[in-house]
Structure 1
Amino acid sequence: MKKVTILISLIVLMMLSPLQFASAEENYSDLYISVGDAIMKVKADDWDSAEKLVAQLSSDWEKADVPENETSKKVGDSISTLDDLVKEREKEPVLDALSDVSHSLVALEKEQNPVDQEEQRGQVKAALTPVLDEMGQSIEAKDADRAYESYQSFLSAWTKNEKIVRSQSIPFYGKIETQMGFLRIALTQDEKDFSKIEGIYGELNSAVEDFAAGKNLKSDNQNYSLDTLVSLLEKANQSIDDGNPEGAVPHLEKFLSVWPSVEGDVRTKNGSLYTELENNIPVLAGKLSSENADVDAIQSDLTNYQKSIVLLQDKTNYSVWDAALIMLREGLEALLVVTALLAFLRKANAASQQKWIWAGVIAGVGMSVVAAFILSTVFSTATAGANREIFEGITGIAAVLMMVGVGMWLHQKSTMKAWNQYIQKQMGTALSTGSVLSLALVSFLSIFREGAETIIFYMGIAPSISTGKMLAGILIAVGILAVCAFVLIRYSTKIPVRPFFKIATFLIYFVAFKILGVSIHALQLTDKIQSTQLNSLPIVDWAGFYPTLETMIPQIVLLLVFAVTAVKIEKGDRKQENRAA
């Protein structure tokens, strides 16, 4: 069920990204991204997300077009080992296995795309050393303006060559990036501390020289994550609140030290935020050290970045009860139809024909399972790689649209008179055919239609809930439905339907509100929808509320639709009651 995708969503996605499914030159970028993201999730003890990423890695590897040789066999073996270990959820073995996968991928890529690493290091040195020499002369002369111009030149040269450094040595890449951030802070302060600037420059220069010489640098193995960045920004804001703006600077410097270890997690989810953080955090830190700093504006920026990073972290994980509600609301509608059919046959003294209704129910369930299997088999690859966020957004919005219809239907049937009219209509249609097979067809179509809707709804939340929670929710719902079925079938003529339908309608509206927010947020993470944040409002994960205009406006519209519908239905009911009176 979890891997099922919906054909209409696939068509919409292909309209948004028509070239996404075209054949392209084979590369391993998706594999590296999955490995990097998995490392971050394991360090954060987010095992559900880590298992999904490892499964994605395994799937992408199986589809990769690679030569069959000893090197590619090592990649496959390392991924297979990782797939087994991640299920045991022991951090160190899994991190080691991820490292093995990364190293084996690097070896395969080098084999297929041989490069001269020494020559590349020479290229980096040739590009950066002249600019560093000029920067050193400016700093020695205490010429701040010229030193900053040299820094900008270095930044330009670094941008063109940083991929080489990152591919050969993550530790050197991190050290150079960190020292660049420190240098930018020092050069943007009003009062320049040239002794400090010289020290930072020395560290930067030696890092470049050591990399060019092919030296090794020990990696920082601390378990940094996006939570670390959020925590550092919180501490910086707290220092500002305490009236000590300069006390926030060390926290921002620590941010820059941590940044190279987690920047990949930001870059793969929000490229524009990645650029802003990398460029602006050093500037903000430099301004905080200045006497005439606009502290309020700086704190506003820091708060904005803090919320942006929080939004990047795992999207709302639906609970077991969210999964149960989907099965409940869909099962209840189908159950009401079946109950109506059975109740009518009992009243018509034709209980012996109930077997045809149950035959229709079984056929409907069977066809729903077949449809799920076909969709899962044919379209399972549609949720691969970067598209998983887009699919969650699209299918979630599709689910919300269907929920609106379901909610309105329930609301309309919330009076005893409307419910009795509905029963009579369904029974009349069945009996008018003069055949018991029509009864089976009514029950079959009711079950199959609800089964198809259930597939769409579960696909809408599947990327944000573990398989275990989803199955638990389904089993709970099945148990509740079994009890409801017994009660409805046995006491269908005695149950007060109004409270029952009111509660069911409220639950549907609530889940629709939540899924709409989560779905739009998922599209924001892929830059398909812009994100205009409102810093004065909190994030409410359990309700799917994210403080951005793009999520709030559709949710407000949805609430208005619900409100207008409720008012119209209530007015209609009162008119009918007055006419009857």
Structure 2
Amino acid sequence: MILRLLALLLVLLTAPGAHAQGAVDVPQQLRTAHDLVAQSLREYAQGHTEQAFRTARSAYLDHFEYAEPPLRVLNPDLILEMEYRFSDLRNGMRDGQPVAELQRVAGDINDSLRKAEGIVSGTGVLAPTLAATGGFTILFREGLEAALLLAAIFSYLESSRNGRLRRAVWWGGAAALLATVVTWALATYVLSIAPVSRELISAVTSVIAVVILFSLSFFLLQQTDRRRSAEFMRARLGQAVQSGSLLALGLVTFTTIYREGFETVLFYQALAVASGPVLNSMYLGIGLAALALAVTFMLLFRFGRRLPTARLFPALVGVTALFAVAFVGNGVRAFQEAGWIGVTNLYGRLPTLDPNVSALTGLHPTVETLAAQALMVLVYAAGYGYVRWSSQRHSPHVAGRLERH
């Protein structure tokens, strides 16, 4: 608290033009610097080297420098690091370096700007809560699906007293969990050394996550699709059991569970980027989800179908939809930072959110990000309406078939 008061005093006393214009809005200056860095990249990619250099210089001299005084008190090392990075960006433009290299430098600058805004604004309570909720929900949803699939496999094998078959299922599930951990480690490593900007990686990851989340939402809503999936899995199990191959049974279990694990890795990669300074809260949510899944797993295998797991699916659909909308906003924002999409700022016209909250909800004050999220909400509304209409349309036929039987 003392450091923050001292930082505010420094803003009032030492910021350029502070006496004439009043206190500097530090978060606003940082956001403007962030957008000018993205603009300079677009100009450089279009061949306007001199204009790009001037824009990058303006980002530092006309905006970031106004935010330096309080940040020097709170984190002097970060300020020194950012001065070098801004210098690297300008020098790279002057020396004609490849766009990909400058995008990497700009990505480091944007990460530091966000960190600086978090230092000035504080993380508050909402951002850690959102990160923890996201960490919990992703693992719990995917883990619950995996637990239900395992329960269905064991239910199918219930009539068989061959203990080797059941052990093959456990080995297949354990291998799937191990493969999921390896996939997470490999994905983290590959993304860290990929020869493209982190913004572009984040954008592509968000788009893929949105596509999977969108399909999952309506899969969970449509009972017929879930029945078809269960029938397909039982058919594969039947073939494996009839052949007597333990390897075949283990592979069926592995592929069934690993699909959930792969989705989990993808969603966490997107959420980790959004969590930023509150990443520890995401890991807290993961830990709580692991405990909740352990309890659910024991109850599921003890009470089986008597557990009201079906009632969870509507809530999971709602949470899945919220994740998709958030990832859409972050994906568009990442494309903007990579210089692929223009930026139409709405700063000053809309309420300003904490930067960490913006990253976790995807609510960024630009026309492009908000329009993409609004479109996503409309698509979800239309899809939900279609699913309801389709279920009501087919329910009389289903009821008629039941009466005839």
SS at match of 1:319: helix
Aligned counterparts of 2:186 and 2:25: Cα–Cα separation in 1 = 49
Matched residue, 1:99: none
Pairing 1:457–2:226 present: no
Determine which of 13, 21, 24 is the counterpart of 1:252.
21
Change beyond 3 A, Cα 1:427–1:365: same
Matched residue, 1:380: 192
TM-score, normalised by the number of residues in structure 1: 0.46
Matched residue, 1:538: 351
Q: What's the CA shift for 1:550?
A: 0.7
SS at match of 2:306: coil
- Please list, as runs of the form range in 1=range in 2, the aligned pairs for 1:31-430 lying within 5 A after superposition: 223=7, 250=19, 252=21, 255=24, 271=40, 275=58, 313-314=117-118, 319-346=131-158, 348-350=159-161, 352=163, 353-382=165-194, 387-413=197-223, 419-420=226-227, 422-430=229-237
Q: What's the CA shift for 1:269?
A: 6.3
Q: What's the CA shift for 1:506?
A: 0.9
Q: Please tell me whether the aligned partners of residues 37 and 59 of structure 2 are also in contact (alpha carbons under 8 angstroms).
A: no
Query: Over residues 401-460 of structure 1, what are the superposed CA-to-partner deviations in whole Å (9 max), with x where a residue is unaligned?
Result: 2211222221223xxx76555433321221034235333222201222222222221111
Matched residue, 2:311: 499
Pairing 1:473–2:280 present: no
Q: What's the CA shift for 1:565?
A: 2.3
Matched residue, 1:549: 367
Aligned counterparts of 1:335 and 1:508: Cα–Cα separation in 2 = 18
Pairing 1:445–2:255 present: yes
Change beyond 3 A, Cα 1:397–1:412: same
Aligned counterparts of 2:221 and 2:306: Cα–Cα separation in 1 = 20
Aligned counterparts of 1:515 and 1:258: Cα–Cα separation in 2 = 23
Matched residue, 1:489: 301
TM-score, normalised by the number of residues in structure 2: 0.63
Q: What's the CA shift for 1:274?
A: 7.2
Query: Over residues 18-53 of structure 1, what are the superposed CA-to-partner deviations in whole Å (9 max), with x where a residue is unaligned?
Result: xxxxxxxxxxxxxxxxxxxxxxxxx889xxxxxxxx
Structure with the largest fraction of helix: 2
Matched residue, 1:176: none
Aligned counterparts of 2:186 and 2:114: Cα–Cα separation in 1 = 37
Pairing 1:528–2:324 present: no
Q: Please tell me whether the aligned partners of residues 18 and 24 of structure 2 are also in contact (alpha carbons under 8 angstroms).
A: no
Change beyond 3 A, Cα 1:328–1:464: same
Aligned counterparts of 2:57 and 2:317: Cα–Cα separation in 1 = 42
Change beyond 3 A, Cα 1:505–1:249: same
Query: Over residues 319-364 of structure 1, what are the superposed CA-to-partner deviations in whole Å (9 max), with x where a residue is unaligned?
Result: 1221122212222222222121122222x34473322211110111
Equivalent residue letter for 2:232: K
Aligned counterparts of 1:370 and 1:278: Cα–Cα separation in 2 = 45
Change beyond 3 A, Cα 1:269–1:507: same
Q: Please tell me whether the aligned partners of residues 266 and 274 of structure 1 are also in contact (alpha carbons under 8 angstroms).
A: no
Aligned counterparts of 2:383 and 2:211: Cα–Cα separation in 1 = 14
Give structure 1 stretches of 5+ with no counterpart. 1-42, 46-221, 233-247, 281-308
Aligned counterparts of 1:526 and 1:574: Cα–Cα separation in 2 = 45
Q: Please tell me whether the aligned partners of residues 180 and 261 of structure 2 are also in contact (alpha carbons under 8 angstroms).
A: yes
Aligned counterparts of 2:174 and 2:34: Cα–Cα separation in 1 = 46
Q: Percent identity?
A: 23
Aligned counterparts of 1:567 and 1:257: Cα–Cα separation in 2 = 45
Q: Please tell me whether the aligned partners of residues 343 and 489 of structure 1 are also in contact (alpha carbons under 8 angstroms).
A: no
Equivalent residue letter for 1:475: G
- Please list, as runs of the form range in 1=range in 2, the aligned pairs for 1:506-521 lying within 5 A after superposition: 506-521=318-333
Aligned counterparts of 1:331 and 1:549: Cα–Cα separation in 2 = 36
Equivalent residue letter for 1:252: Q
Q: What's the CA shift for 1:251?
A: 5.3
Aligned counterparts of 2:321 and 2:30: Cα–Cα separation in 1 = 42
Aligned counterparts of 2:238 and 2:25: Cα–Cα separation in 1 = 74
Change beyond 3 A, Cα 1:454–1:462: same
Equivalent residue letter for 2:350: L
Change beyond 3 A, Cα 1:442–1:566: farther
Give structure 2 stretches of 5+ with no counterpart. 41-54, 64-112, 400-405
**Root mean square deviation of aligned Cα:** 4.2
Equivalent residue letter for 2:329: G
Aligned counterparts of 1:276 and 1:425: Cα–Cα separation in 2 = 57
In terms of Rg, which structure is larger? 1
Matched residue, 1:213: none
Aligned counterparts of 1:374 and 1:278: Cα–Cα separation in 2 = 40
Equivalent residue letter for 1:319: A
Change beyond 3 A, Cα 1:277–1:375: closer
Equivalent residue letter for 1:431: G
SS at match of 1:493: helix
Aligned counterparts of 1:360 and 1:549: Cα–Cα separation in 2 = 48
Equivalent residue letter for 1:336: L
Matched residue, 1:572: 390
